[in-house]
Amino acid sequence: MPQMNMIQALNSAMDIMLGRDPNVVVMGEDVGFFGGVFRVTDGLQRKYGEHRVLDTPIAEGAIIGAAIGMGVNGLRPVAEVQFADYIYPACDQIFSELARLRYRSAGEFWAPVTIRTPCGGGIRGGQTHSQSPEGIFTHVCGIKVVMPSNPYDAKGLLIASIEDDDPVVFFEPKRIYNGPFDGEPNKPAVPWSTHPKGEVPEGYYTVPIGKAEVVRKGKQVSIITYGTMVHVCEAAARSLGLDAEIIDVRTMVPLDVDTLCTSVKKTGRCLIAHEATRFSGFGAELSATIQEECFWNLEAPIGRVAGWDTPYPHAFEWEYFPGPQRVAAGLKAVMETP
């Protein structure tokens, strides 16, 4: 089985879907001739032509508005927003039109639009290139929200998203575009040449939307996380020698409550970790859900480790990012509670 990093896996997913389905189109700023700012769409325009892989103006609202029109008329657009920080101008189209189209038309119309966007920090991008706004989109009914943590899942989930008849916002943690990174601040922010790859099939396959994955089995504590933080949490658990069970949420909407609660009921302790800001972050929803479903099984309060409630700083990126030391401190607090 070939080795791929996340960029290569995502590129392979779009390549396969452009080849399988003539209704699939890829669109966004610089996705065509340039191949995307992170080269995720590299080579696709040369292979499939300018009518299938479209360069667009720098106008996120127009990109998503056009994608909705395409979707309503039978196409399956894969629209890239170059950074998640830039998705806000498109939110009215996403929230007021795309998410509600099937409901407001009583099922007569729908738009199978996939919105890809790189998210999170770790590349010294500062406040305008490092945000993690996934929690905002989980609040909007009618949208599926996905964030993979490894190349295999990235390819399978993207193919599943493109084939889905409902709109999907597909967040891509750019810090692990080139492979897992455990988040130690004394390492380079983007060690492009040292990131390990993962085994990814060359052909077609899907990873089901709405299914979490147990990436590490354990009995002492459940760590529930997603995206880059899966690797950070693994590093923290190893540093403490904990028999921790790590759950990769993978899809925030729909949420696989059964897998999460099965783990917490077994371990009796839970830590939730994400890179986004803590207040009203998706971890709050996870915490509330687990408390409601697992209250009588909990032996300690549910812990949360997240980004600070400030704009993402440029000069103090590693102080902001919830790295292994902060996760380890959170785990100690959960484990030491009698």
Cβ contact 44:53 at 8 Å: yes
Distance CA 218, CA 328 (A): 16
Residues in contact with 105: Cβ distance below 8 Å, sequence separation at least 6, in sequence order: none
Which candidate in 51, 129, 139, 274 is catalytic? 129
Concerning whether 314 is annotated as a catalytic residue, the answer is no
Q: What is the dihedral of CA 246, 264, 270, 226, to 10 degrees?
A: 40
> Which residues contact residue 194 at a Cβ distance below 8 angstroms, ignoring those fewer than 6 apart?
none
> How far is residue 279's CA from residue 48's CA, in Å, rounded to a whole number?
44
> Strands, E, within the chain: which ranges?
3-4, 24-28, 53-55, 76-80, 114-119, 144-146, 168-173, 198-199, 213-216, 221-225, 244-248, 251-253, 270-277, 303-307
Q: Please give the positions annotated as active site.
A: 129
